[in-house]
């Protein structure tokens, strides 16, 4: 498996970066469609403005988050900056994006209700982008599980078998499980978004927090390259927190609507 896609002026461009870029474009396209479905409640230009704040901080957050947990593997500042071939953590990206959106809301004087409306239109595209982005992990032969038998891996398409053959050993393609789960979540979130009632701002966002985290929690338990904190898989801890917060926010939203 060659992680390098091509070269520009003798500078290697990796499949990881190409796939992530494609994923972002697809995510924005889905968001554009959702703004049309919203019938004026969400303006795509507002989302692109927020994107300019959120995306750079998402990349910085995703990289810093990964580097902090893998600090012993970096020997120089140059190594830290070189993320073209991998080394981005989605939870760090979400934190960075949230900070960017917070800055945007203050600069543009957007209300919480407006921000939640924008988030509801955005997260279906986000989870689809995550599904596509996992194939960047495949090209890097990362985000996989334990070694598996030839009999087990033979149940997958041949190109998956070849990609998961690392040093003569076959590995469980957990990247694939998460990609498939994220596509399922995307379909569910699109359904929720289209049927969302007024005064339910944030419902799609909170559903994303719960559904993505449920899948991530179980799939993370199969991986061998998890980021650890106090000998615990940090992604599982964050997933539990996101599930609980998502459930609480849905409860508070429904309770608020009943009292109105």
Overall number of domains in the chain: 1
If one compares 88 and 73, the residue with the highest pLDDT of the two is 88
- At 212-233, the pLDDT tens digits run 999 999 999 999 887 787 778 8
| Token output for 257 | 């609507």
Candidates 53, 48, 54, 47; CA nearest to 115 is: 47
pLDDT confidence tier of residue 86, bands split at 50, 70 and 90? low
- At 13-63, the pLDDT tens digits run 888 889 999 999 999 999 999 999 887 889 999 999 999 999 999 999 988
**In sequence order, which residues have a C-beta less than 8 Å from that of residue 167 and are 6 or more positions away?**
none
pLDDT confidence of residue 83? 64
* Whole-prediction pTM: 0.90
pLDDT confidence of residue 45? 95
| Token output for 210 | 């719960």
CA–CA distance, 210 with 140 (Å, rounded to integer): 28
Q: Which residue segment(s) compose the domain that 84 sits in? A: 4-259
| Average predicted confidence (pLDDT) for the chain | 90
Q: What percent of the chain has pLDDT over 90?
A: 66
- At 176-210, the pLDDT tens digits run 999 999 999 999 999 999 988 767 889 999 999 99
CB 201 within 8 A of CB 120: yes
CB 200 within 8 A of CB 252: no
pLDDT confidence of residue 76? 67
């Amino acid at each position: 498996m060659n992680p390098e896609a091509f070269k520009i002026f003798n500078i290697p461009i990796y499949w990881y970066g190409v796939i992530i870029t494609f994923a972002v474009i697809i995510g924005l396209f889905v968001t554009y469609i959702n703004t049309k479905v919203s019938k004026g409640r969400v303006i795509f230009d507002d989302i692109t403005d927020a994107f300019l704040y959120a995306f750079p901080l998402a990349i910085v957050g995703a990289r810093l988050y990964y580097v902090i947990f893998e600090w012993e593997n970096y020997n120089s500042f140059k190594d830290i900056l070189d993320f073209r071939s991998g080394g981005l953590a989605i939870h760090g990206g979400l934190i960075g994006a949230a900070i960017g959106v917070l800055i945007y809301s203050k600069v543009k004087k957007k209300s919480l209700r407006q921000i939640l409306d924008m988030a509801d239109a955005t997260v279906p595209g986000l989870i689809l982008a995550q599904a596509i982005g996992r194939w960047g992990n495949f090209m890097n032969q990362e985000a996989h599980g334990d070694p598996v038998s030839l009999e087990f891996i033979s149940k997958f398409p041949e190109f998956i078998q070849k990609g998961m053959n690392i040093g003569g050993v076959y590995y469980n393609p957990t990247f694939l499980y998460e990609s498939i789960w994220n596509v399922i979540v995307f379909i569910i979130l699109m359904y929720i978004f289209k049927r969302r009632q007024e005064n339910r701002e944030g419902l799609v966002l909170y559903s994303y927090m719960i559904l993505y985290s449920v899948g991530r929690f179980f799939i993370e338990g199969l991986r061998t390259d998890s980021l650890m904190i106090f000998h615990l898989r940090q992604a599982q801890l964050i997933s539990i927190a996101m599930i609980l917060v998502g459930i609480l926010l849905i409860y508070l939203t429904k309770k608020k609507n009943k009292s109105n």
